[in-house]
Structure formats: C-alpha cells, structure tokens
Amino acid sequence: MRKTLFALVFLVLCPAFLVAQDALTNDSVVKMLKAGLSEDLVISAINSKPGTYDTSVDGMIALKGAGASDKVISAVVLKSSGSATQAPVAGGPAAPAATDPDDPASPHDAGIYIFSTKAPVGSKMTMLEPSIYSQGKTGGVFASAMTYGIAKVKMKAVLRGAHANARATDPQSTFYFYFEEQSAGLSHASSPIFGGTSTPNEYTLLKFDIKGDTRETIVGKFNAYGSSGGTDDKAVTAFTYVKLRPGVYKVTMNGPLQSGEYGFISGSGTASVSPYAGAAVSNSRVFDFGVN
C-alpha cells in the first residue's frame, strides 16, 4: 500500500519537479553570460523557456553588475510579466510579435472573421471575403407605374451562386471586425474592404433567400422622389457588439443562427440609386457566409 501511494505521489510531483529544474532564474542568466553565450542566444533562451526571475530593483541591479545588457534585463522583465516577445537582433529589423491564427486577440488583417470553437485547430478564424452584389427591382413596379412614381418599388440585392464559400459550422459562431486603422478605430473612406465604415453598428446582418443559382434579399425602396433604406424585417438577424480595443469589435448573435445564407451589409450599401434619376443600377459589397 505504501509503495503504491509513493508511486502515485511521485507521478504527480515528478512533472512539476522537472519543470522547476528546467526553469531559468537570474542565476541561470548570469551563468549563460559568463559562459560566453551571445546576447541573442541568452535572450532567445529567456523567451523560449519557463523562468522564475527576481525583477525587483535589487535583482535588476545584480544582473547589471554581473554583465547583463539592458536588452537582456528587458527580456527578463518582459518574460516575468508574461508579455515577452522575440527580441530583435542587434542591427537587424524588429522581429514580429508571435501570433496565433486561432486567437482573436492576435493581430489579423483588416476584415470580418467567423470564430467557431468547433472548427479544426488552425482554422477557427475564417475571413469573410467581400462579394459584389447587384441591385434590381422587385415588387411594387405596377403600383408605382399606376401612381406615376409615388408608390415605392422594392430593391433587392442579388448575389451570384446559391451558397457562399465561407461556412459557419456552429450556430453560436462569434464574429470579429478588424478595421484598418486600429489605433484610431476608423477606416479609410477609399478602403477596398470597409469603405469608410468604422463600427459594426453601421452594418445589418441579412438572411438571403436562395433563388435557383442566386441569393436575394430586400435592401431598399425608391420612388420618383428618391430612395431610402428598407430591409425586410424578416430577413434581419439581430446582433450585439462590444469594443475590444480601438478598431477591433466582437459581434455575437442574439440567438442561434438558423441554417441558410447570410451577409453583413453596410448602411451605405443598402441605399439604392433611383432609376427615375436616370442612374444605372448600383453595385455594393456584402460579407457573405452560410450556416450549415
């Protein structure tokens, strides 16, 4: 019985003991420097290995007195605070911060991403590529003609293809918006992605109806006197959002997404150009995706 208990205690404590043995300390840093290891190698070891450091004033003074450079001491302090990154090589370009493609907190290219916990490792964040939709008239055309353009005609957005390329496998999927100028929380007016929008509040999530090899939804209304937004309430999917940091927002649905085809459309994209003014039918972008 005692042998069994001893074996169990050993199995529990052995991994922790090995980690403790491998963990670096201030003394380990001093030993590496005195052994002649280069500054870059010492910093690399600090960043890649677990460590328990004394970063008090006295601890840093002791490291300096033992020959540690400011860069080495800085690496120790950053590692101790849990925010260490690869230190740049002297005379070379700064190394980029380590990123995790599955971590929404990591830097990402500007765009809208689906985050799904059920997706395989390495692909939990899926970027929605903006698609161009065409606008066409639907409904109210006869009434408009009979009232000399007073009655409003509905405008629909038409996307080619019955299904979006991006798919969400989780009805509870979360979305992340990364705008271009994250330091200011704004986007360039000429942006090929967001076109000047700066928050998810400027977008509407609409569900599309599949019509043969196209997807359609109502995005506005017009008459002889102008146009206005006017999405179909039945197609609108409600969501809420929170600002994580400048230019980055987390969007969550107010309820599970039903199976079907969806798209985020900006408010400016739902305003149609009235054909009565002699303008051509306009085009705009939608960040489309489907729910399996």
Please spell the DSSP secondary structure of 225-274, one letter per residue.
Answer: TEEEE---GGGEE-EEEEEEETTEEEEEESSPPPSEEEEEEEGGGG-PPP
> For residues 273 and 133, which has the higher predicted lDDT (pLDDT)?
133
Task: Give the pLDDT band of residue 60 (cuts 50, 70, 90).
Answer: confident
For residues 69 and 90, is the Cβ–Cβ distance under 8 A?
no
Q: Picking from 97-106, 134-143, 158-167, which range would have the lowest pLDDT averaged per residue? A: 134-143
Give the distance from CA 10 to its chain's centroid: 44
Q: What would the mean pLDDT of 97-118 be, rounded to a whole number?
A: 85
What is the number of other CB atoms lying within 10 angstroms of the CB of residue 251? 20
pLDDT of 11 = 45
Q: Picking from 113-127, 172-186, 257-271, which range would have the lowest pLDDT averaged per residue? A: 172-186
Amino acid (1-letter code) at residue 73: I
62: DSSP letter: H
pLDDT of 235 = 86
Question: What are the structural domain ranges in the chain?
Answer: 2-81, 111-291
- DSSP strand E in 17-173: where? 111-115, 125-128, 130-138, 153-160, 167-168
Distance CA 257, CA 173 (A): 8
Share of the chain above pLDDT 70, in %: 66
pLDDT digits (tens, 9 = 90+) for 239-292: 999 999 888 999 999 999 999 999 999 876 554 444 444 433 444 789 999 998
pLDDT of 192 = 60
Is a pLDDT exceeding 70 seen at residue 4?
no
Distance CA 199, CA 241 (A): 9
Q: Find, among 131, 144, 103, 117, the residue nearest to 227 by Cα.
A: 144
pLDDT of 268 = 61
Distance CA 191, CA 1 (A): 71
> For residues 261 and 121, which has the higher predicted lDDT (pLDDT)?
261
> For residues 172 and 148, which has the higher predicted lDDT (pLDDT)?
172
Is a pLDDT exceeding 60 seen at residue 6?
no
Average pLDDT, the chain: 75
Model pTM score: 0.57
pLDDT of 83 = 52
> For residues 174 and 133, which has the higher predicted lDDT (pLDDT)?
174
> For residues 279 and 180, which has the higher predicted lDDT (pLDDT)?
180
pLDDT of 171 = 87
Q: Find, among 110, 139, 118, 133, the residue nearest to 264 by Cα.
A: 133
Q: What would the mean pLDDT of 198-219 be, rounded to a whole number?
A: 91
pLDDT of 172 = 86
